[in-house]
Amino acid sequence: MRNEFDDIDTEAVARVAVTMMVNGKVRTIEVEPRTTLLDALRETLGLTGTKKSCDRGECGACTVHVDGRRVLSCMSLAAMQNGQTRTITTIEGLAPDGVLHGVQAAFTERDGFQCGYCTPGQIMSGIAMLDEARAGWPSAVTSDVTKPFSIADLSNEEIRERMSGNLCRCACYPNITEALQDAARRR
């Protein structure tokens, strides 16, 4: 069955230049306007640590940081990131000097992974989640949102709620929760 998009000549689609700060380096690429940030990172820049899984924002495997906030890169267009003022961090950018980020180290120590496919997204989301908790952001399970939230209030229930957008098909959730508890105590 044909649809209205079958006759689009993809070679004729205009490409746009996108300049972004990725892992501390200014990168300029040319992409089709509909290219996702995920595809730009993986296919154009060769940063394959960010994983493509569901490709519809359901699993969290493609989580990266944009200006310090966690973003599902499969749900964001590369063209939306144009400008050197936006900073994008992928899993490859966490340890530029070879020393693991605290969350990466905790995942290793607590066996917070099995097959490893979801691990980059889990780690990126975990780092942002800890930053959100340190900033005092409550979650859906915070018992009293009228009181200031602190990192000391980060219970296993809080971690599970805050990480609920990141799925693990190997079910390493207890180890992921322990790793994030360790990382929260260390920092």
Residue 34 lies in a domain: yes
Closest to 38 in 3D by CA, of 2, 3, 73, 4: 73
Q: Write out pLDDT tens, residues 50-66.
A: 999 999 999 999 999 99
Confidence of residue 86 (pLDDT cuts 50, 70, 90): confident
Q: Write out pLDDT tens, residues 94-147.
A: 998 899 999 999 999 999 999 999 999 999 999 999 999 999 999 999 999 999
Q: With a cut of 90, say whether residue 173 has pLDDT above it.
A: yes
Structural domains in the chain (count) = 2
Same domain for 106 and 88? no
Same domain for 111 and 179? yes
Confidence of residue 91 (pLDDT cuts 50, 70, 90): very high
Specify the range with the lowest mean pLDDT, choosing from 12-21, 71-80, 131-140, 148-157: 12-21
Residue with the bigger pLDDT between 84 and 112: it is 112
Confidence of residue 30 (pLDDT cuts 50, 70, 90): very high
Residue 5 lies in a domain: no
Same domain for 77 and 109? no
Kindly report whether the global pTM for this prediction surpasses the value 0.75: yes
DSSP string, the chain: ---TTTT--GGGSPPEEEEEEETTEEEEEEE-TT-BHHHIIIIIS--TTSPPSSSSSSS-TTEEEETTEEEEGGGSBGGGG-STTSEEE-GGGS-TTSPPPHHHHHHHHTT--SS-SSHHHHHHHHHHHHHHHHTT---TT-S-TTSPP-GGG--HHHHHHHTTTS--TT--HHHHHHHHHHHHHH-
Same domain for 123 and 89? no
Same domain for 106 and 173? yes
Share of the chain above pLDDT 90, in %: 88
Give the domain extent around 41.
14-93
Residue 55 lies in a domain: yes
pLDDT at 11: 64
CATH number reported for the structural domain that contains residue 85 in this entry: 3.10.20.30
Q: With a cut of 80, say whether residue 10 has pLDDT above it.
A: no
Q: With a cut of 90, say whether residue 3 has pLDDT above it.
A: no
Same domain for 110 and 46? no
Residue 6 lies in a domain: no
